[in-house]
Chain A
Amino acid sequence: MTRRLLGRLGAGLVVLWGTATLVFFVINLTPGDPAITILGGPDALPTPAVLRQVRAEYGFDQPLWGQYLHYLGRLLHGDFGVSYRLHQPVLKLIAGQFGATATLALWAMVLGSGLALLVALTTAKRARWLTELLTWAEVVLSSVPSFITGLLLLLAFSFSLHLFPSSSTHGWTSIILPTVTLALPVAGVLIQVLRRELEEILEQPFIITARTRGLSETGVRLGHALRHALIPTLTILGVMFTTLLSTAVVVETVFNRQGLGRMMSDATTNRDVPLVLGIALLVTSINILANIVIDFIYVVVDPRTERHE
């Protein structure tokens, strides 16, 4: 068990290292002066003094190998560079915004998966009309882009009904609409997949065996089907994690919330390369970690996986 954990962490580190290396080479291979890229692209017009400072700091006068080791060393020390637009170290900026986005993402996952499990478990393999209705709902839910859902919710609940604040980051009321917007795509996909999986699960021989023992429908769904349904849920959550982070960018913009997503979007518009890369690397690390965690939850839920490895 520990061997696997170490193996996975090792693999994750390799991926991180690879990503960081890729980033390094991309910076250096972009046509033009890498220093100017870091300072915000050709429109930034930095002063010669700043240029010299950046060059010295990043060691652009050194040979490529030296730069690379220098770069890795800085990363390992937590030095992700400085945002020249916002005049602050990248790590500090990220740390400041991390909490808001993390809270949002976690709540969205909980809401999304909880809702999906509830709906799927209660409605799988029931009346035909229910299945048809839900299929329609699923298609629509998964087709509407998140920012449109967000806008619609905003229009309906904030601007028209004045139920929730339309833009703020603090207070629990402000988190409701963004969480719902973020949770809907998760729920949409999960419900689709879960209902289909449950339909198959509920036809399996071991379910029939359970029924022949005198287990009621609820008992069958909660006692047997639920555990089987967790497996695809975990898979989807693992994949959805990245999508969540992507969508957070949009949601934070629509609802005018502070957060990593918003910062990322602004940084991109401003061509603030160090900040963009810093966020990207951080998010990648979280992603890798989350997937490792999910892998381990798998083993707990499904004892068969242990033997397959």
Chain B
Amino acid sequence: MRPLLNVRNLHVDFPGGREQVVKGISFTLQRGECLALIGESGCGKSVTLRTMVGLPGAGAVVRAEALEFDGVDTRRFSPAQWLDVRGGRIGFVLQDALLSLDPLRTVGEEIAEPLRLHKSLTREQRSARVIELLRSVGVPEPELRAAQYPAQLSGGLRQRALIASAIACQPELLIADEPTTALDALVQSQVLDLLVSLRNGNTAMLIVSHDLAVAARLADRVAVMQAGNIVEMGPTREILRNPQHPYTKSLLAAAATVHAHVSVRHSSVSVPNSRVEIATHGVTKSFTGVDGKRRIAVEPSSITLYAGHTLGIVGGSGSGKSTLTRIILGLEKADSGEVQFQGRPWLSLSSAERRTVRRRVQPVFQDPLDSFDPRYTVEAVLGEALAVAGYRRGRTRRERALELLRLVRLDETHLYRRPIELSGGQRQRVAIARALAAEPAVLICDEPVSALDVSVQAQILDLLTELKRKLNLACLFISHDLGVIRRMSDDIIVFHQGRIVEVGDAEKIFCSPKHPYTQALLAAIPDMEWCTAAA
């Protein structure tokens, strides 16, 4: 059987810029099968995908011994031939639909575009087909949605619309670059279902993901990429259960660490005499939305955080968890309710009164780059926090700064750099160092690792765990990733639509969730058992 895609010894160069991005990879793809390229950012997987449709990027030089689509040599393709294949025989789905659909055109227009280019249909036939397509990908009220703009649809519906536009002409091959990454956990699972059904319908698929779980569900075969090379390739089950190459092993191990259980755990029950660091009682907050309607962001909520404990807060976007956290940090005013810090009133204090104590509750944000003054070096960033903690300018401050850097596994050279020159992981370490510089009792981590690569995630989580233990910090940990929450938290709070729907010991909640929302969340976690086998 002639393979649909035949790639042998593919090289992609960007002379004058990055060095070789793809350094000689080979693979084939049969009709109706799904191959997943997995690897971390920068390994060349996206470039490979784009080269399959002749769009490797500006200035790219593509060389290969063989590069064939359905037996035809695409290296010699004329622009006209590519225009024919793209959209007609190969569909492409990019990452975030909010960015990948033209915001100035309606969803219907976007889906109709490939139809207009490849099929000769009348306008009415096109409209009908668009509605049909939207229905087939599971978009309710397709007539309404087709006339709307992408920003008016929710994330999940948008992604489905994007997929609809890719499969409009019933292509033989569907290429997807991180198709579920930008979505909430629950929605991810639903879109994955859609992709699985497409695969079952005999569309060949070539996908890329950094999320091993996605690959596990969707792909028949998996190819692991590292720095432009394929280091291991084979049937999915085999690779994930029994990895041979050291890099594959480390990838799986990192994923496992992120989602590992923690055997020793502090439970709020076991140490009843623990000091209460933060307690909130009946805090509420509502906003006036753009449309003028008053929306309740947080219903009366009460949470308790004990010293040395980690309280994980989980919930979808818009569930109220971030708002409550910002209220605790004092960045928002609550409409009603009280927050206490170490037994004393916190929220009801005036700004001036609160200032001296504020540094005891420190945040670690998701995007560290924005949390630094663009003009400041690492030294200045730490210096500002140290000044608040009472370290005056001079030798002692400098020594303490170096000490902090050592704590977060950075060294002196980082002191003189600007955060913009550092990698994502390094920046987050600096952010943690700054938080620690203020000598806090409580750390509030708001999605601190969501923006990082898997292997870096594991390192930062390890670091946080170690620091918490060493300095006996209480920690409020927010994440949408249940695996991360499970690993880091002693107790868990589940937020849904502004309300706390479940509270309790982490393990108990994971084993026997009570509230339907919690149950749905847990059901959406992709199957991780192969992870523990590899760990």
The answer on direct contact between A and B (beta carbons under 8 Å) is: yes
Q: Which residues of A contact B (CB under 8 A)?
A: 125, 204-206, 208-216, 224, 227-228, 301-304, 307-308
Are B94 and A213 in contact (CB-based, < 8 A)?
no
Contacts of A210 in B (CB 8 A): 102, 113
User: Which residues on B sit within 8 Å (CB–CB) of A213?
Assistant: 86-87, 92, 113-114, 117, 165
User: Quick check: is B100 within 8 A (CB to CB) of the other chain?
Assistant: yes
Q: Contacts A205-B94, A209-B94, A303-B149 given: A214-B103 contact, CB under 8 Å?
A: no
Given contacts A212-B53, A304-B104, 18 further A-B contacts (CB under 8 A): A125-B58, A206-B99, A206-B102, A208-B55, A209-B92, A209-B162, A210-B102, A211-B55, A212-B55, A212-B90, A212-B166, A215-B113, A216-B79, A216-B83, A224-B104, A224-B105, A304-B151, A307-B290
> Are A206 and B100 in contact, CB atoms less than 8 angstroms apart?
yes
Given A125, A212, A301, which contacts B86 in the complex, CB threshold below 8 Å? Answer: A212
Number of A-B contacts (CB under 8 A): 77
Say yes or no: A209 contacts B100, CB within 8 Å. Answer: yes
Cβ-based interface call for B522 (8 A): no
**CB nearest to A216 among chain B residues:** B83
B79 lies within 8 A of A212 (CB):
no
Q: Which residues of A contact B83 (CB under 8 A)?
A: 214-216
Choice from A125, A204, A211, A214 contacting B99 with Cβ under 8 Å: A204
Q: Shortest distance in angstroms between A231's beta carbon and chain B's nearest beta carbon?
A: 9
A307 to B289, CA, bound (A): 11
In the complex, which residue of chain A has the Cβ closest to the Cβ of B50? A208
Nearest Cβ distance between residue A195 and chain B, in whole angstroms?
Answer: 16
Q: Which of B55, B85, B86 has the most CB of A within 10 A?
A: B86
Can you sample 16 A-B contacts with CB below 8 Å? A204-B99, A206-B100, A208-B94, A209-B92, A209-B165, A210-B102, A212-B86, A213-B117, A213-B165, A214-B86, A214-B114, A214-B117, A215-B113, A224-B102, A304-B151, A308-B290
For B103, give the chain A residue with the smallest CB separation. Answer: A304
B100 in contact with A208 (CB, 8 Å): yes
Distance in Å: Cβ of B290 to nearest Cβ of chain A: 7
- Mask, B85-115, CB within 8 Å of A = 1, is 1111011101110011111110000100110
Nearest-Cβ distance from residue A260 to partner chain B, whole angstroms: 37
B118 contacts partner chain A, Cβ-Cβ < 8 Å: yes
Q: Which of B51-88 contact A (CB under 8 A)?
A: 53, 55, 58, 79, 82-88
CB B53 to nearest CB in A, in angstroms, measures: 6
Chain B residue nearest to A212 (CB atoms) is B92
Chain A residue with minimal CB distance to B175?
A: A212
Q: Is the CB of B100 within 8 A of A214?
A: no
Alpha-carbon distance A263/B88, docked complex (angstroms)? 63
Which residues does chain B contribute within 8 Å of A303, judged by CB atoms? 104, 149
Interface size on B, residues (CB 8 A): 36
How far, in whole Å, are A210 and B111 apart by their CA atoms in the complex?
10
Closest to B149 in A: A303
Chain B contacts for A304, CB-based, 8 A = 103-104, 149, 151
- Chain B residues with Cβ below 8 Å from A212 are 53, 55, 86-87, 90-92, 94, 166
CB distance from B326 to the nearest CB of A (A): 23
B96 contacts A214, C-beta separation under 8 Å: no
Whether B290 contacts A205 by the Cβ 8 Å rule is no
Residues of B within 8 A of A301 (CB): 104
A206 to B96, CA, bound (A): 10
Complex Cα–Cα for A123 and B205 (A): 36
In the complex, which of the residues A205, A216, A302, A307 contacts B100, with contact meaning CB atoms closer than 8 Å?
A: A205
Known contacts A205-B99, A303-B149, A307-B290; is A214 also within 8 Å of B104 by CB? Answer: no
A308-B90 Cα distance, complex, nearest whole Å? 37
Closest Cβ–Cβ distance, residue A188 to chain B (whole Å): 27
In the assembled complex, the Cα of A308 lies from the Cα of B86 at a distance in Å of 35
Task: Compute how far the CA of A307 lies from the CA of B113 in the bound complex, rounded to whole angstroms.
Answer: 26
Cα–Cα, bound, A223→B58 (Å): 21
Contact B92 A205 (CB under 8 A): no
Separation of A211 and B99 alpha carbons in the complex (Å): 14
CA distance A228 to B114 in the complex (A): 20
Shortest distance between the CB of A10 and any CB in chain B (Å): 19
User: Whole-angstrom distance between the alpha carbons of A208 and B57 in the complex?
Assistant: 10
Q: Which residues of A contact B151 (CB under 8 A)?
A: 304, 307
B106: nearest residue on chain A (CB-CB)? Answer: A303
| Known contacts A209-B92, A214-B85; A302/B104 CB under 8 A | yes
> Within 8 Å CB of A228, what residues of B?
104
Contacting residues, chain B, for A209 (C-beta < 8 A): 92, 94, 100-102, 110, 162, 165
Task: Find B88's partner among A125, A206, A214, A227 (CB 8 Å cutoff).
Answer: A214
Across the two chains, which residue of chain B brings its CB closest to A204?
Answer: B99
* A214/B92 in contact, CB under 8 A: no
A303 to B150, CA, bound (A): 11
CA distance A308 to B149 in the complex (A): 14
Question: Is B87 a contact of A214 with CB atoms below 8 Å?
Answer: yes
- Whether B101 and A214, one on each chain, are in contact in the complex, defined by CB atoms closer than 8 angstroms, is no
Q: How far is the CA of A211 from the CA of B166 in the complex (A)?
A: 12
Q: State in angstroms the CA–CA spacing of A227 and B103 once bound together.
A: 10
**Which residues of B have CB within 8 Å of A224?**
102, 104-105
Cα distance A189–B117 when bound, in Å? 36
Q: Could you tell me the distance between the alpha carbons of A227 and B110 in the complex, rounded to whole angstroms? A: 14
- Considering only CB atoms, which chain B residue lies closest to A303 in the complex? B149
When distances are taken between beta carbons in the complex, the residues of chain A under 8 Å from B53 are 212
Residues of B within 8 A of A204 (CB): 99
Known A206-B103, A209-B94, A224-B102; judge A214-B290 contact (CB<8 A).
no
